[in-house]
Amino acid sequence: MELWGMGDLVIASPFLQAASQKYDVTLLVKTYTQDWQPRFWPNVKVVTFIAPWTAFEHKYMGVPYNLLIWPWAKMFRLWRQMTAEKFDFGVSARWYGSARRAGDPRDHLLLWFFRIKNRLGFPKLGSQLFLTKPLNAPEPGAHRYENWRVMGQALDLDLPPREKLQLRQTRHDRGIIVHTGAGQPVRVWPLDRYRFLVSRLRSKGFHVQVACDPDQESWWRRAGERDVTVPRGTALITLLEKAGLFIGNDSGPGHLAAFCGVPTFTIFGPQLPEWFASLHLASEWLDGKACPYKPCSDYCRFPLPYCMVNSQEEEVSRHVEAFLTRVLSDPAIPKLVPH
């Protein structure tokens, strides 16, 4: 199961691909994956479920744990469906909170609730009671992909280390995608600074396609960007597969671009690159500015997420241009063609 964000699911995808070669695999996941299954893991059966505790709105007011508003009828139907399958193994590689060695007890409870015979996860707060095989999590500084490698080892799957992953190479027009969206506002670098970066890249002769989230489209059009796109589902995958480079926030589209074989440059904020850098080996990033509360996920104690907004246009542009230079000089990477 992987019940959270798009980036989390991308990081789990090498495990899904390997597992589906040996097992009949069912993936319990959010609804946005309908277009992914035939492209990335065609042998995996997908069951969709939006767990109420994964809601981000009013997260820290306790609303996701208001049992009166939970979709109990849907959850009961899911329980019947999952228990009828009589699964041999259930796997949760998620970690919960800031403790990198701890798993998510809510996942572990679900595995037990579905009556799965062998339940694998990283225990926390006594959740080993719901697991038949508690596992030791990777070192605290390890990339999140390592969680899935641990799960793979427990299931006799030989997942390569991150530096040896073989990702697809399907790029065509070699243009640059600048995607300004992210799952949460605290991970969004200011749009006016992205506009500066886009103009600078175009002035150097590169073709730049601006993509964004739906709530950002009107801003870009007011700023004069006529060809801005808001890709979703299949359209997003198609756009990324034709790209030469991806520039954006710590976001699901960035992880998806890397998995499609596109080198990415990521502007990080509240999270740590060593945990969530994209899987493409040629990818690079700019770390978020220092904050005593980092890492944090989807909220900020301050009026503005200074870890993001204190990264200025000139600094980001210098790093992006250095990244471009390295990519253009790497013989193993298909070359960008200036527009």
CATH number at 6-164: 3.40.50.2000
- For residues 80 and 99, the model is more confident at 80
Residues 6+ apart with CB under 8 A from 232: none
Please report how many Cα atoms fall inside a 13 Å half-sphere around the Cα of residue 231, on the Cβ side.
24
- pLDDT given for residue 169 in this prediction: 64
Find the length of the chain: 339
Query: Which residue's structure tokens are 């799957």?
Result: 157
Name the CA dihedral angle for 20, 21, 24, 29, rounded to a multiple of 10 degrees: 0
Q: Is pLDDT at 331 greater than 60 in this prediction? A: yes
- What mean pLDDT comes out for the span 232-236? 90
- Per-residue pLDDT of 136-161, as tens digits, reads 989 888 999 999 999 999 999 999 99
Report pLDDT for 61: 47
Widest CA span of the chain, in angstroms?
Answer: 60
pLDDT for position 328:
80
Q: Quote the mean pLDDT of the chain.
A: 89
**Statement: residue 235 has pLDDT above 80:** yes
Q: What is the DSSP string of 173-240?
A: S-EEEEE---SSGGGPPPHHHHHHHHHHHHHTT--EEEE--GGGHHHHHHTT-TT-B---HHHHHHHH
- Domains 6-164 and 175-329 in one fold: yes
65 pLDDT band (50/70/90 cuts)? low
Phi, psi of 195 (to 5 degrees): -60, -40
CA of 314: how far to CAs of 193, 245, 267, 310, in Å? 9, 20, 13, 11
| Token pair for 136 | 């030791």
Examine the pLDDT at 226 and tell me if it is beyond 50.
yes
Q: Which of 43-57, 63-77, 279-293 has the lowest mean pLDDT?
A: 63-77
Fold of 175-329: Rossmann fold (3.40.50)
- Answer yes or no: is pLDDT of 100 > 60: no
Q: Check pLDDT > 90 for residue 337.
A: no
Give 50's pLDDT tier (boundaries 50, 70, 90): confident
Q: What confidence score (pLDDT) does residue 101 get?
A: 58
Q: Which is more confident, 169 or 3?
A: 3
Report how far residue 329's alpha carbon sits from residue 323's, in angstroms, rounded to the nearest whole number. Answer: 10
Task: Provide the pLDDT for residue 239.
Answer: 93
* pTM of structure: 0.91
Q: Using DSSP bridges, classify how beta strands 25-29 and 44-48 pair: parallel, antiparallel or unpaired.
A: parallel
From CA 43, how far away is CA 55, in angstroms rounded?
Answer: 29
Rounded to whole angstroms, how far apart are CA atoms 186 and 204? Answer: 30
Q: What is the pLDDT of residue 157?
A: 96
Within 8 A by CB and 6+ apart from 283, the residues are 258, 263, 264, 265, 266, 277
Question: Tokens standing for 48?
Answer: 């969709």
Share of residues in the chain with pLDDT > 70 (%): 90
Q: Which contacts qualify for 206-209: CB closer than 8 Å, 24 or more apart?
A: 206/175, 206/176, 206/324, 206/336, 206/338, 206/339, 207/173, 207/175, 207/176, 207/338, 207/339, 208/175, 208/176, 208/177, 208/178, 209/175, 209/176, 209/177, 209/178, 209/239, 209/243
Structure tokens at 221: 């059009």
* Domain boundaries defined on the chain: 6-164, 175-329
**Which secondary structure element, helix H or strand E, spans residue 147, and what is its range?**
helix 145-154
Q: Are 46 and 22 in contact (CB under 8 A)?
A: no
- Tens-place pLDDT, residues 278-328: 999 999 999 999 999 888 867 788 999 999 999 999 999 999 999 999 988
Please, which pLDDT band fits residue 171 given cuts at 50, 70 and 90? low
If you write DSSP's letter for every residue of 68-104 in order, what string do you get? GGS-HHHHHHHHHHHHHH--SEEE---B-SS-TT-B-
